[in-house]
Chains A and B, each alone.
Chain A
Amino acid sequence: MSTSRSHPANHPVEILRFNTCGSVDDGKSTLIGRLLYDSKSLMEDQIEALERSADITGGGQINLANLTDGLRAEREQGITIDVAYRYFATPRRKFIVADTPGHVQYTRNMVTGASASNLAIVLVDARQGVIEQSRRHTYLTSLLRIPHLVIAVNKMDLVGWSEERFLEIRESFESFLPLLDIKDVKFIPLSALNGDNVVDGSKHTPWYTGPNLLGHLETVHIGSDWNLHGFRFPVQWVNRPNNPHDPRLHDFRGFSGQIAGGIVKVGQKVMILPSGLKSRIKEIWTLNGSLPEAFCPQSVTLVLEDDVDVSRGDLIVGLDSLPGMSTELHAHVCWMNPRPLQRGRKYFLKHTTQTLQAIITALENRIDIHTFEPQPAPDELAMNDIGEIRITTAKPVAYDGYVTNRLTGSFILIEQGTNQTVAAGMLLPPQEAVRPEYNDFAI
């Protein structure tokens, strides 16, 4: 689905990633369908296909949800079983939408859809108000540290566009929002089915003076969502040309990766972890030529002054702000597998670009989704549970707290044998920064 609105020339276009969550029948797919339909992002053949399926399953009524419910089983059961991604654009922004399902058994998909988001939309059925799923999704938004939250109070037409009802729902959210860590929250009353306050305003809500949904998505400030403090560079791939035609490349040894935090400059002193060796940046190599500096999240190839031992999984960091380093990790996890998490189990842990053996040494608590209170020392974490655990890794891991850096503060656990991804982990801040033993080993 491409942009249909005119494309502005010579104007940098930002990408905003957002996800929608809510429980079954809150109208998520309908809302996305409405955004696409009313922003004129749908094409004739898509509308044609919609109309074709309306004749078969909808008794002639166009069903906007059919736009995102792409798989046959979903259309037949009227549910969304996996994250569906949609793309649309307005002259101001390009949007990547992750439509994440609401039913309990697929909550892991919300984590999948939301982890890269700038903004989350939690849908609430105005008739039902806040239910367990709303609390869970709001909590996950906070835990994943998605910077912006929109509470879309949907189906307002079915409560007679009652301002009182809207405020009631708003208040029940506001009773628990202070327990969470979300800085920017916006409440919008709307009807996805009829289009009120989605792309255009609504004549039914004279009492609401805020922006419509698309207006908010187009203007919310996302410029500071990336981390530019503290240089972090997980080495992905060692770049060594085999038989270079260019003789200058005979000794080329570059470290390729995506900058996970901060800014790097040629001449800057850096440390390689876990070894603790130091060197300087000699060159920032890209296909388009060398750069004087580069920043998160650019992908580059770094060349160092010294011939130090560096391989995949190492973390190159700036000296001005050092990460923590340990084999003992403390983290929140969202458990995503039917086989529960128990103490003593072994998994592969993938953190940045390294995969290590890890053992679960303790289950500290399980979060009660109703009260957000931690319940100490659970026997296990079941599917969709969130809790704090302790892990010991086979080798030291250089890391940041997830609150400071989403990329160096996150990990996944992989079950050995089945290779399933079973947990999303968010590291708690390290107790202290790394203290290298060989302070001036190199240079």
Chain B
Amino acid sequence: MNIYHLDHLQHLETEAIHVMREVAAEFERPALMFSGGKDSICLLRLAEKAFRPADIPTPFLNVDTGHHFPELNTFRDRRAAELGGKLIIRRVEDAIRNGIAIPSPGEISRNKLQIPTLLAAIEEFRFDCCIGGARRDEEKARAKERFFSFRDAFGQWDPKNQRPEIWNLYNGRINPGEHMRVFPLSNWTEMDVWEYIGQEKLEVPTIYFSHRRNCVRRQGQWLPVNDLIPPKPGEVVRELVVRVRTIGDIISTGLVESPAESVDDIIAEIAAARVTERGSRADDKSSEAAMEDRKKQGYF
């Protein structure tokens, strides 16, 4: 190999930077979705690489379900402040109170209620583009999504009618009321994300590393004990050494037993893993087409 050669992370990086700069150049009011999770942490680094020494030209947007891990929110707020960015938080609780999001009777999960909350935020700030950290390797419906994913005035994704995406020519043209979701990490895998975090020495929330936590076993998964879903009679609470592999809401995020204390440990663990990242998310297991259905309605 000659010196004019990029390795796989450099390739993924230059592709993602190109995509982010296209957004900054072609949209009037873009936002960058930042949850504090590992994928969006990479997005922020890529935004620095794309836009420094100028300011990052997008505000950061997060939909807070009210069921987040507290460690995640603390990290989110601190990291956004460090980068000097404007952090916009819209809460599912407020959306429920204002009648924007309406839970089904008995529905505890906030997963679906994120959708109307996000769409209302897009309308409120008239965002014409939201940059997100979704990856195609996460899930089968995501595997079919473009870098520039067009959403109609109802926020819907139409998988049968996507714009052809050719070379590195992204078509960002939209009519008023429509918007674009853009995914710079489309071609990244879970492994790439962790290798990048390692290479760039990025800080991540502590819950990605092993720690002691009280857990209960439900539907083949260890779930964290918390006030929202207290242990039922007969359920045994066990203190285990665990970490999260992917962060969803606290009520649905499965914990994996793991001794991984560093990014290198995590990379070694993923290399040997026998289940996918989303295998630990109860929200995706609910049906074969769970993600597809949510995405069509405007989910990320």
| CB atoms of A115 and B167 under 8 A apart | yes
Whether the pair B164, A109 counts as a contact (CB closer than 8 A) is yes
Which residues in window 283-308 of A have CB below 8 A to B? 285-287, 295, 297-299
Interface residues of A in 248-289 (CB under 8 A from B): 249, 252, 254, 256-258, 263, 285-287
Chain A residues with Cβ below 8 Å from B21 are 236-237, 256-258, 299
**Size bracket of the B interface:** 35 or more
Stretch from B95-103, B202-210, B232-240, B265-273 at the A interface:
B265-273
Return the contact of B166 from the options A15, A86, A241, A424 (Cβ within 8 A).
Answer: A424
Which of the residues A67, A70, A241, A420 comes within 8 Å of B141, measured between beta carbons?
A: A70
Residues of A within 8 A of B174 (CB): 419
A204 an interface residue at 8 Å Cβ cutoff?
A: no
Alpha-carbon separation in the docked complex, A407 to B18 (Å): 13
Asked if A258 contacts B165 (CB within 8 A), the reply is no
Partner of B5, one of A12, A242, A312: A12
Say yes or no for A361: interface residue by CB 8 A criterion.
no
Q: Does A395 contact B (CB under 8 A)?
A: no
A interface footprint on B230-261 (CB within 8 Å = 1, 0 otherwise)? 00000000000000000000000000000000
Is the beta-carbon distance between A299 and B49 smaller than 8 angstroms? yes
Contact residues in B for A372 (Cβ distance below 8 Å): none
Q: Are A1 and B171 in contact (CB under 8 A)?
A: no
| Contacting pair B191 A45 (CB below 8 A) | no
List the one stretch of B58-66, B111-119, B122-130, B274-282 in contact with chain A.
B274-282
Q: Is the CB of A223 within 8 A of B189?
A: no
Cβ-neighbour of A252 out of B12, B53, B275 (below 8 A): B53
Contact of A4 with B143 in the complex, beta carbons under 8 Å:
no
Partner of B169, one of A75, A241, A411: A411
When the two chains form their complex, are residues B5 and A2 in contact, meaning their CB atoms are under 8 A apart? no
Would you call B1 an interface residue if the criterion is a C-beta within 8 Å of the partner chain's C-beta atoms? yes
Please give me the residue from chain A that is nearest to B26 by CB atom. A355
Chain B nearest Cβ from A225, distance in angstroms: 11
Please tell me if the beta carbons of A420 and B163 are within 8 angstroms of each other in the complex: yes
Asked if B8 and A13 sit within 8 Å, CB to CB, the answer is yes
**What residues of B have a CB within 8 angstroms of the CB of A96 in the complex?**
187
Please report which residues of chain A, range 351-383, place their CB below 8 angstroms from some CB of chain B when the two chains form the complex.
Answer: 351-353, 355
Is B144 among interface residues, defined by CB-CB distance under 8 A?
Answer: yes
Nearest Cβ on chain A to B130's Cβ, whole angstroms = 18
Known: A241-B55, A263-B4, A419-B174. A45 touches B276 (CB 8 A): yes
Which residues from 1 to 39 on chain A have a C-beta closer than 8 Å to any C-beta of chain B? 1-7, 12-15
* A130 part of interface (Cβ distance < 8 Å): no
A177 within 8 A of B: no
User: Within the complex, what minimum Cβ distance (angstroms) separates A94 from chain B?
Assistant: 5
Nearest opposing residue in chain A for B23, CB measure: A237
Partner of A414, one of B50, B144, B171: B171
Assess whether B168 is in contact with A244, with CB atoms less than 8 Å apart: no
Contact A239 B141 (CB under 8 A): no
Task: Tell me whether B164 and A82 are in contact (CB under 8 A).
Answer: no
Instruction: Tell me the bound Cα distance from A75 to B275 in angstroms.
Output: 23
Q: Which of A221-242 touch B at CB < 8 Å?
A: 223, 226, 228, 236-237, 239-242
Provide the bound-state CA to CA distance between A124 and B278, in Å. 35
Q: Shortest distance in angstroms between A331's beta carbon and chain B's nearest beta carbon? A: 13
Name the one of A111, A239, A254, A297 contacting B6, with C-beta atoms under 8 angstroms.
A297
CA distance A244 to B288 in the complex (A): 50
Are A12 and B187 within 8 A (Cβ)?
no
Decide yes or no: A287 and B49 within 8 Å by CB, A71-B159, A116-B167 being known contacts: yes
Given contacts A7-B271, A299-B14, contact A240 B168 (CB under 8 A): no
Please determine whether A4 and B271 come into contact, CB atoms closer than 8 angstroms.
yes
- CB contacts (< 8 Å) of B160 on chain A: these are 73, 81-82
Say which one of A46-54, A206-214, A434-442 lies at the interface with B.
Answer: A46-54
Residue on A with the closest CB to B142? A70
B52, A94: Cβ atoms closer than 8 Å: no
Chain A residues with Cβ under 8 A from B271's Cβ?
2-7
Q: Is A176 an interface residue (CB 8 A)?
A: no
Pick the contact of A1 from B10, B137, B168, B175 — CB < 8 Å?
B137
- Answer whether A298 and B187 are a contact pair too, CB < 8 Å, given A7-B271, A71-B144, A82-B160: no
Indicate if A329 sits at the interface (CB-CB under 8 A): no
Please, which residues of chain A bring their CB within 8 A of the CB of B191? 2-3, 7, 89
Q: How far is the CB of B284 from chain A (nearest CB, A)?
A: 10
* Contacting pair A412 B169 (CB below 8 A): yes
Question: In the complex the two chains form, what is the Cα distance from A72 to B162 in whole Å?
Answer: 16
Tell me if B225 is interfacial: C-beta within 8 Å of chain A: no
Does B136 reach chain A (CB closer than 8 Å)?
yes
Q: Does chain B have a CB within 8 A of A348?
A: yes
* A287 adjacent to B171 (CB under 8 Å): no
Beta-carbon contact of A240 and B54 below 8 Å: yes
Q: Does A112 contact B (CB under 8 A)?
A: yes
Please pick, from A15, A75, A256, A295, the residue contacting B50 in the complex, using a CB distance under 8 A: A256
Is the CB–CB distance between B53 and A410 below 8 Å?
no
**A84 part of interface (Cβ distance < 8 Å):** yes
Task: Tell me the chain A residues, 89-117 only, with Cβ under 8 Å from chain B.
Answer: 89, 94, 96, 108-109, 111-112, 115-116
* Complex: A15 Cα to B12 Cα, angstroms: 9
Q: Is the CB of B166 within 8 A of A115?
A: yes
Query: Can you list 20 A-B pairs, Cβ within 8 angstroms, ordered by A?
Result: A2-B273, A2-B277, A4-B274, A7-B267, A14-B8, A70-B139, A73-B160, A81-B159, A85-B144, A111-B164, A236-B18, A236-B21, A263-B4, A286-B49, A297-B14, A298-B14, A299-B13, A299-B14, A299-B18, A407-B168
Given contacts A226-B4, A355-B173, 9 further A-B contacts (CB under 8 A): A45-B276, A70-B292, A82-B159, A89-B191, A241-B55, A299-B49, A412-B166, A419-B171, A419-B173
Binding site for B on A (CB under 8 A): 1-7, 12-15, 43-46, 49, 52-53, 67-68, 70-73, 75, 81-87, 89, 94, 96, 108-109, 111-112, 115-116, 223, 226, 228, 236-237, 239-242, 244, 246, 249, 252, 254, 256-258, 263, 285-287, 295, 297-299, 312, 336, 348, 350-353, 355, 406-407, 410-412, 414, 419-421, 424
Sorted nearest first, the 8 A-B pairs with minimum C-beta distance are A70-B140, A45-B279, A299-B17, A419-B173, A12-B7, A2-B191, A299-B14, A112-B164
